[in-house]
Structure 1
Amino acid sequence: MWAKLRSRKYLQRILLSLTVFIVVVLCVFASTMYVKMKSTTLHIQTEANRKVLAQVKYNVEYMDEILKNLMMSLYFDNEVIPILYGQTFSYESIATKLAKLDKLADSSTYLHSIILYNNYTHTYLSTNRKFQDNLHGEIGRFEQQIQQLENQHSLHKMQLIPFKISNDSMTAVDFFSYVMYRDEAMPTLKQSALILNVNPEWLFNNIKVINDLAYDKRSSVLLMDGQGNSYTSENRSANFLPADVAARIQASQADFESFTYGKGNNKSIVTVMSLGMYQWKAVSIQSYDYTLSELKGIRNMLVISTVLFLLLSAVIAYIISRRLYRPVERMIMQLKGTLPAGPKLMKEKDEWSYLSDVYASMIDKTNTAEIQHARNRQIVEGFHIRNLLTKSRSLTKDEFLHLLTEHDLAIDAEGPFMIGVCQIDDFETRMMQASADDQKIYRFALGNIGEELLSPWCKLIWIEMGDNHFVFLASLLDKDSFSLPAFEASLKEIQQIIQRYYQLSTTISYAAPFDHYLQIAEAYSEAQELIKYRMIFGHSTLLSSERVKVNERHEDLYQATQIEKQIIEHLRRGNSDELMKNFHQFFTYAISLTYTQFMYSILHMTVTVTKTISEMNENRSRPIAIDLRQFYKKVLEQETVGEIEGLFHALTAQLTNETSPGENDKTEILCHTMKEIIAENCNNPDFSLQTIAQLLKMSSAYIGRVFKQGTGTAVTEYINQVRLNNALALLEAKDISITEVMERVGYRSQSYFFKLFKAEYGTTPKDYRLRKVIGTDKI
């Protein structure tokens, strides 16, 4: 059972929680009850002390009142006055009065004795013969104490004053005296006085009776006079009080006060009541343990009850815990084995943690299955949409309708339709910098934003056909209210939002609206062709057939050839400024072409430039350090004409740095001189490279190699180019025959002339003149 309990951590937690709760509640309840009972007991005891001390106060006040009345009665008695103030007297004359005083002292329970002092005769008369006879020096000690009290200014008329005149060390005081005399300003021993001595046993016996009835032997009631002297009920000095406690009692100004002092078994309860006269106080000192002794039994009984109740509570808590745990146990038995690591988890975690892990595992499996199902559905759906985009003509009407219904595609079956293609500009770089999660967000954002912004115009399907190829197929909601400019504005807004929030530049192309689903594949092909014009129009553009529409155009072979020749010539010469101008002129010309012509021109120019640099390296002692294969690859990787032109400008700058200025100047001078000679003498049919060598007095092989290096063209080829250019100008004149043109430019053979002309310009001299005549200036 214990081993089973140890394995069930949640059951342990329930049992422990209930047990701790019960223990805390019981302990708090028991402690609160005990503290309350203790507080109540102390309060009751304090009130009892107040009543006892109030009785002592009453007895002392009653005695004080009686003795004061007696003092006044005796002091003004006609028989006592002569004894106090007579200058002469005899014992026979006062014997009767003394007998009365003796009888009065004996009859009173309060009086110890009466003393009359005559200052004139310096005589003491007392009902206490022992004092009067001064057998042991009592009078001297009495006068000594009076003198001390006067020195301390504490001898006052009609106040209770303790006196100790005997040699008995067992007693603290012999009697308490009331002194009455005439002038308080004079010393007491220099004037007559009446002294009533109070029997201390009466006062102490009264306290002793109260003490014996109310307290145990470890408790006592004390009297403390105004000088701080304390007296017990046995007429002893209470010198067992600590000095700080005695000082606190004496300094107290309260009518009633209770406090505790000491620690452990020596702890006591002190109760103080002012007697209301002469600064005397009644003090009760009780044992703290004795006061609370009755509570010990209650406390023990409370502890035993608490322990028994705790044991019973533990049994009840176990029963309740088992009942609470039963549903959890059943659930664990049902789910056991769901997780492969179930037993291990049960050892390391509690039951709820195990159940939570099982639940999380089941949710993960469910979500994974749902995601997998959704992905499979998307893949199948994407497959059918791709077929629709590429093979729409092969689908029957029923197949098209079934496709829309089965895959719940958002478009309408009747159209009209519209297709567009979207691409992310600089896709490779942006995707390389983005994480996998960011790439998913980009793809999702394109479709989501596109569907939201185009929803006022159409129902939309957005699909990713491959890397950086997103297609939307839409059916217009209302063809009559459809506005192409407003639709284009929505597409531009898509581009702006994607740029603003995701810093992605996009290019979008779309085909013109069409009415029948059979035209979907044709429109998709059109949109794909249009998106290629990003190369010409640049990033973040919106491409439509209207924007890229051009008339059927033919390449201006003469312009292209001339630009290419100039580029080769300046490339060989290393003339960077002119080369920059030529490249700009070329790209300005290229963007006016169709996409296919543009790409052909760019690739042809790239091949020409790389080939020219290779030929230059063959004739140079120090080849130009340029990776031509990498340059060609970079050209193919660019997305816009501006980026391609930038590569050619960078190549020009690199060539300028690699080429020696002195070598360029020498080659340029020689080439320029040879061109001047050719321009001047090319009309001579016998003119050739050897003629130029003779004129310059140089080797024909050397000048031929230098000219080829400087211009990229052989001397013979350049001579033919100059002759054919001159022929073009002459052919535009209407009064010169083609044969005469041939002879004027330096050719003898008509067939050779026609062959060179057609190879250079793609047409014969006759056809060229004919087209010029009818007004067509482009071949």
Structure 2
Amino acid sequence: MRLNMIRRNGKLYVRLLLGITLSIVLVLLISSSVYYFSFTGILQDKAYESDLSNLRQTGQAVANTTESAQSVAFQIYRNSAIAKVLYYQNPNAFDAQAVMIDLNNYLATMPYIQSIYVYNPSEDRFYISAQEGQSGILKGNEVNDTGIMEILDHYQEYKPFAPIPRIIKADNPEMEDMGVYTYLCYDAISSNKQMNSAVVVNISASWINRELASKTNESTSRTLLVDDRDIVRSVSDLKPLQLSDQDLSLIRSELGEPNARYTIADFEGVKSLISRTSSDQYDWHYVRISPYDEIVKEMKSVRVTTLLIASSVLLAGLFLSWLLSRYLYVPINKIESRMADLESERRNSSYTIRQNILHKLVQIQEFDPQVQLDKLKRADISFDFTKPYQLAYLRIDQFEKLKKNNSKDLLTYKFAIMNIATEICSKHFRVDSIELEDDSILMLLNVVDHSLSETEPLHAMLGEVQAACLEYIHIGISIAVTPVTDNPHQLHTMYKQAKEASYHRFFQGRSAIIETESLPFTEVSYSFPVGKEKRMIDALVAGKIDEAKSLFAEIIGETAPYPIRIVHSAATHITVSLGNMLKEIERNGSLQLGFNAELAVPRIEDFETLEEMTDAYYAFFDLLKSKLVEKRSGKQEDLIRKITHLIETRFTDPNLSLNYVADELNMSSYHISRVYRQQTLTTIVDMINHVRMENAKELLTTTECSVSDIAEKTGYASSSYFHRMFKKIYGVTPSEFRNAHAKK
């Protein structure tokens, strides 16, 4: 006790150091999390303010450009030389030349203007001056910029002097299309509201973007424009974007709010901060898409650094704790280890001796009771077989599963079961336990309280043992119990009966309490029902699974009144017969079922209860049926392919018929006809005619052969029969068919 106190106090310091270390790590993690989320919010707001400023600069740049474009358009209208070509017909060559010179001067002095169109609708004549692309005096149908014609035809749909974002197609395929803001100035004061004249100023989007780039720090962010026609464009080149429905819905939902705002969502599969402006004077919205990782990149590095620091502190604390536990208390640990070894050696030696004596006692059949009783007393074993006693044979349920998952702890579990059973039974019995092979334990019970020898109180006590094992170590046990006797020479016989009775868990289920008195141990005549087994196998082969299951259940159920070896013998007989059946099916039916691989016959040795074995056999029957259906279906599909290939390769043979195909395949005509019709919903004869007619149609349309030659080439011995069949199927004669396709 004192040594244990010293040991516990020694570990107290280790625990204190671990607690301090874990507290520091926890504080670091919590504080870094708080800082991370706080500063992330600040970075989001900062990024939003930067994006909003950028978007407003973009909108302001477009607004400034609108004023410049309006000023240029008014100057053009006030230009006397240009006025002549706008309102008068058939201007002379000098006036036209003067107009082109003035327009070129405008472009030279205003580099942000990409092109200027002066349009006289009455003459359908354009005067075009452009930095790049088409220039000169052109008719409307000669203008390559088809987009401007669309705008002029529907000019009333556009707001006066509102910029129109659009793309001008390049004249040369090697050049890129150009994004421009188009400003339309027109005179439409006639009574019919027709346009009298128009001046179009196209301002290059790239010029505006170049101006903005010098003022903003561009990153991986993108700026989008949603115009008054609800078209989403890239501000960089004004090209409409092809967005998914999800991304488009996200953009539109953001535009539904009246004020400028931002949100965080996935855009094109990337988590992004989406900022947008409120509607401007043109009913436009600007949207900024910034990758979220770029915004919080710095905070992520801080978080990683904090986690590394916390990990380092934790590792250092664990290392120091390990050093303390290893070196500071080495003497105490050595003393404790030595005492534990001595105690274990003494205990194991005494336990091994006791177990060996009890093993021999239940195995020998003829012995001197007094001699054996003296041996038991010398080993400090309390069991006395000269006084009333009985045996309880404990068998662990689901032992194979326990063995697989806890192979190293099996002995510990068995000790625990023995201790639980001894503690509960010692209230009414003197108890000794024997650890037997694998899943078994034998309890030797000397009756002290004779009232417990009655069935119901004894069952209640054994049920208490089962419940305690299930509650504390989560292990179920089945128990076979013998009647009370005081005959020493009955010990071996009762042990054998208890052991055999424990196997009747197969019928009574797990956690059963089995009385050996109720079971047959004498030789009983049993005749295996060969007829039922044959009917079961015939039903399996025929696909009658329910009948096979019922016969299997009857065969196994009939063995319940017999000793357990009869049950094993019957189940083994069925296993062998089913194995032979599978081999026979594979040999005679040319079907590879996967015997002893995925289609293995269950064995009784693999199951603890009848229910488990029945379920396994039923599953085996179902799998066998599915494989038989699958394999047989595959053979039929192979037969269909062979028949079809034969028809397609030999349709020119006049002798090709149902019997011809049957002879070639060495099968009955009735069988192949039935299978082919079931699988293809057509007959072999119809398929022969179909293939011949399809080839005849091809020859009629691609060759000059006569109808009689085509009939011969497609397997028809008589051209008149071919003529009748063709008209019957297609409604026209071969000649009419050829003429009709020749005209096409």
Q: TM-score range by the shorter chain?
A: 0.3 to 0.5
User: With structure 2 as the length reference, what TM-score do the two structures score?
Assistant: 0.39
User: With structure 1 as the length reference, what TM-score do the two structures score?
Assistant: 0.38
Find the structure with the greater CA-based Rg: 1
